[in-house]
Amino acid sequence: MKFTILVNEGPYQHQSSDSALQFIRAALEKGHEIFRVFFYHDGVNNGTRLAVPPKDDRLIQNEWSALAEEHGVDLVICIAAAQRRGLMDADEAKRQGLDANNIAPGFRISGLGQLIDGNIEADRTVVFGD
């Protein structure tokens, strides 16, 4: 089965991000395909490379980046939600006249069309978070 995953919550607000990661790992282990993970609303905060949680907490952004690297999972951050929350890749930062970017490795910024495409391509879309 081919899945698209939608993550709507940030990494430290609820367990949605952790649950999505666990679901994806289990699905991959069982031989399923993850077509795309789309981060929307506060879920875009999963893609920042500037988070510095306390030493006794996990850095979930690194776990997402590792998932993308190890399994080729497409991690897409909604551009409109990202801009509202100050997340920029290098191209968008330049376009906006900003001098820095903060997207973690393995993530990319794109529009809602990527979510629609994921919904069309996948057999199922699974949503994590409100």
Q: What amino acid positions are annotated as catalytic residues?
A: 78
Q: Which long-range contacts (CB under 8 A, 24 or more apart) does 61-64 make?
A: 61/11, 61/104, 62/104, 63/21, 64/17, 64/21, 64/37, 64/104, 64/106, 64/107
DSSP codes, 72-106: ---EEEEHHHHHHTT---HHHHHHTT-S---BPTT
Please state the φ and ψ torsions of residue 72, each to the nearest 5 degrees. 65, 25
Q: Which helix (H) or strand (E) holds 64?
A: helix 60-71
